[in-house]
């Protein structure tokens, strides 16, 4: 097919939309930034795109909770349009604040009759965490992560602690293969804080929905697409590319293969 088009959803306080646009264009896509109010006024805009991205930032100042106001907007005003977008075998990506919004909108792990089954809570450290982390990928059927085993990405968040309401819910996420990214040590070993900067259950850094086509992750792949983004490139030498670039190339390639 033709070059896939990416809709990068802007909202007040989002501040990673330009970096995300750059990453997708570097990967070969055509990316356009569109404000949430514009999409609410005309949900049919989604028909023209193959990939939807909710980027990082601090939408609406995270005044109620991180990503919650945007998540409410997605759920109440765009619920049907977003589910049709996913069911049409298109891709949805949420990065950091975007992950928080998608999770609160019920697009990754749907709520049950008692309410949300998972959330992203305040870091156990009680502070904003800004550091680079090692990650282990278990892509399963998530096209964004195809070809990954380990990657190194930065995090920057105050509410990234993945928590489930009951232990059986966490067990279910493991069984369905929805836990696709975990914080690990440099050699892939289990870690505590600060290797798991948020204190997430099961060291979870990213989840996909049951289809694999909706991915949410707390680390920022758009901040490591160039080899010079690596914090130690002057000491360790330049890699061919940043660890995050493959994620965006995978999304582009998904439509070349379908």
Q: What is the crossing angle of helices 68-77 and 79-87, to 10°? A: 80
Calculate helix-pair angle for 68-77, 97-104, nearest 10 degrees.
50
Q: Choose the catalytic residue: 220, 224, 229, 230.
A: 220
Q: Is 229 a catalytic residue?
A: no
Chain centre to alpha carbon of residue 137: 13
Q: Among 96, 133, 142, 208, which one carries the catalytic annotation?
A: 96
Residue of 134, 222, 224, 230 marked active site: 222
The answer to whether 220 is a known catalytic residue is: yes
236 is catalytic: no
Which residues are designated catalytic? 96, 220, 222
């Amino acid at each position: 097919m033709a070059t896939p088009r990416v809709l990068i959803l802007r909202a007040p306080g989002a501040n990673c939309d330009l970096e995300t646009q750059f990453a997708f264009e570097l990967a070969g896509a055509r990316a356009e930034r569109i404000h949430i109010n514009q999409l609410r006024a005309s949900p049919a805009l989604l028909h023209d795109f193959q990939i939807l991205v909710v980027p990082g930032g601090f939408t609406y100042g995270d005044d109620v909770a991180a990503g919650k106001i945007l998540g409410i907007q997605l759920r109440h005003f765009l619920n049907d349009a977003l589910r049709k977008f996913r069911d049409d075998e298109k891709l949805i990506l949420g990065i950091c604040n975007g992950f928080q919004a998608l999770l609160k909108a019920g697009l990754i792990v749907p709520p049950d009759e008692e309410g949300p089954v998972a959330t992203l809570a305040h870091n156990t450290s009680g502070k904003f965490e800004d550091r680079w982390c090692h990650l282990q990928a278990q892509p399963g059927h998530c096209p964004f992560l195809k070809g990954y085993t380990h990657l190194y990405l930065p995090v920057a968040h105050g509410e990234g602690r993945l928590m489930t309401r009951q232990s059986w819910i966490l067990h279910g996420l493991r069984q369905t293969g929805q836990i696709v990214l975990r914080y690990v040590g440099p050699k892939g070993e289990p870690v505590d804080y600060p290797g798991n900067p948020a204190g997430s259950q099961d060291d979870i850094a990213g989840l996909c929905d049951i289809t694999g086509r909706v991915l949410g992750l707390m680390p920022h792949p758009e901040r490591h697409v160039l080899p010079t983004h690596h914090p130690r490139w002057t000491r360790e030498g330049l890699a061919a590319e940043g660890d995050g670039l493959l994620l965006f190339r995978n999304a582009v390639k998904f439509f070349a293969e379908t």
